Amino acid sequence: MSLPPPSLSTAIAVDQVLYTAAQVRELDRLAIASGIAGFELMRRAGQTAFDCVQQRWPDHSPLEVFCGGGNNGGDGYVVAALAAEAGLPVRVWALASPELLSGDAALAAQWARGAGVAILPWQGERPEPGSVVVDAMLGIGLQGEVREHYAAAILAVNSSAVPVLAIDIPSGLCSDSGRILGITIKADETLSFIGLKRGLFTLDALECVGVLHFASLAIPRAIYGQLAEEQLGGAVGHLSVGAMLAAWGARPRNAHKGVAGHVLVVGGDYGMAGAALLAASAAARSGAGLVSCATRPEHVAALLAARPELMAHGVNTAQDLQSLLIRATVVVIGPGLGQQAWGREMLAAALAANKPMLFDADALNIIASEPQLLLSHRGPRILTPHPGEAARLMACSTAALQADRFAAATVMADRFTASVLLKGSGTVIAADSSLYLCSGGNPGMASGGMGDVLSGVIGAFVAQGLSPERAVCLGACVHAEAADIAARAGERGMLASDVIEQLRSVINGYAALS
């Protein structure tokens, strides 16, 4: 089921809200305060998980439930109790002594014991071949590295080659950041409850979540609206390409190229003309009325031969760029720009024009080395860094930045007064004081030029009148959807130009019909 839209000040279309662990705990508390007993919520979670196992792996036996010491473990004990009552072979491997459980988890363990479940302390055993594992060891409260005993159990499960259902979140995955905390369960399927956790959609999550399912546990929709405004900090809107395109609507019947905007791509120093060509081509395929490319004079003939719809201009100095900047609706700068004198001169000139600007690639690297450059710019800004570029902008290591992608994007947006798109597995966007996530895309995008294409797409949407915030969110979704269509022919060997050729069908809604 879909959760209510986020109570955030935004007109950007989303299909789900992704919550922090603290917010999910608050939703749980509000549900209990409304009159739903905590144990009833645990029973519903266990029943849903048991049904999932039965539907997905009906021929696997026995059911091996690995239970920890918290409410996540309590959910596992409920699964075990239901299996025993159904006459199915089941056993619980306890990572924490059942006698030390408290509250609802203790009640669940008592139910399992009363149903005849064998509850055994885990001492290094591996799941039996042919079995199915329910991971109920560590839930959303995990913050630090997985402790040694649990880490050993996770390793035993991962090395057993049996199917695994993770309850709420794979044990060892940080529910707020998507970071693996030392080691994590590699689940085939994950069943998340009450509120989808934002860490299930980014960074390392895609390696361990498997197929993701959601169950609200029949919590009334009104409960979600009770989160106070100050409690929504960190909530993430999950973007939907279909909803965003529908909100944009069709192009007016009386449209002409003058109302569809003019994108100026600045880049393509010696040896890097392809990056500028990809960005400009993507802008053209994304509906911009006019696309110009300011590049080295030596590249003009090749660009026009490759894409005659472009207006390619050779520029050697800032003076050469001035007339092009005057005519532009939006400037995309960085693809193939380089960090030498030419690229720096082009960037300084573009900044002084005070047009809406998208900064990518080497434009970001130059700004990282000279952040004061942005002081001269008065127009809207969009930054589209990959993790390495973002780390340079933030003057930190890539590992430190990736440890919390949501926080990193938020800080960058504030520091540079910009809409920020942080690339990577689970694209994170910080825009207009809100957070968004695009979960589309695939590993085939790990090849040169993909970021250049994304820059052109976003630039085209700004040119056509979308706000920078909407342009970034829609651009991320359209780019990912086009890449997913291109990947149907195979992920390895997919080129950025393959993605460009799918943009038109995605933007016009035809992809959904294929």
143 is in an annotated binding site: yes
452 is in an annotated binding site: yes
- Two tokens at 216? 């609200």
142 is in an annotated binding site: yes
484 is in an annotated binding site: no
425 is in an annotated binding site: yes
401 is in an annotated binding site: no
How far apart (Å, rounded) are the C-alpha atoms in residues 2 and 176? 20
505 is in an annotated binding site: no
Element (H, E) at 151: helix 148-158
104 is in an annotated binding site: no
Q: Backbone dihedral region of 70: left (phi > 0), alpha (psi from -120 to 50 degrees) or beta? A: beta
275 is in an annotated binding site: yes
How far apart (Å, rounded) are the C-alpha atoms in residues 478 and 242? 9
Quote the crossing angle between the two packed helices 71-85 and 103-114, to the nearest 10°: 20
223 is in an annotated binding site: no
How far apart (Å, rounded) are the C-alpha atoms in residues 295 and 268? 5
Cα(first)–Cα(last) distance of the chain, in Å?
A: 25
38 is in an annotated binding site: no
355 is in an annotated binding site: no
233 is in an annotated binding site: no
73 is in an annotated binding site: yes
How far apart (Å, rounded) are the C-alpha atoms in residues 87 and 54? 13
- Residue linked to tokens 């299930």: 200
- Residue of 160, 170, 94 whose CA lies nearest to 132: 160
360 is in an annotated binding site: no
Question: Measured over all CA atoms, what is the biggest interatomic distance in the chain, rounded to whole angstroms?
Answer: 84
150 is in an annotated binding site: yes
Say if residue 272 is exposed, middle or buried (CB neighbours under 10 Å; 0-12, 13-18, 19+).
buried
382 is in an annotated binding site: no
72 is in an annotated binding site: yes
List, in sequence order, every beta strand (DSSP E) within 26-117.
63-67, 90-94
φ, ψ of residue 175 to 5 degrees: the values are: -75, -15
Residue 173 β-bridge partners: 180
Cβ contacts of residue 83 below 8 Å, gap of 6+? 50, 63, 89, 90, 117
404 is in an annotated binding site: no
- Examine residue 62 and say whether the peptide bond preceding it is cis (omega within 30 degrees of 0): yes
Helix, strand, or coil here: 438? strand
How far apart (Å, rounded) are the C-alpha atoms in residues 146 and 229? 33
Helix, strand, or coil here: 134? strand
502 is in an annotated binding site: no
How far apart (Å, rounded) are the C-alpha atoms in residues 71 and 74? 5
292 is in an annotated binding site: no
Say if residue 447 is exposed, middle or buried (CB neighbours under 10 Å; 0-12, 13-18, 19+).
middle
101 is in an annotated binding site: no
Annotated binding site: 71-75, 135, 139-145, 150, 168, 171, 275, 336, 386, 423-427, 451-452
Q: Can you say which residues are annotated as belonging to the binding site for (6S)-NADPHX?
A: 71-75, 139-145, 150, 168, 275, 336, 386, 452
Which residues are part of a known binding site for K(+)? 72, 135, 171
Binding residues for AMP: 423-427, 451
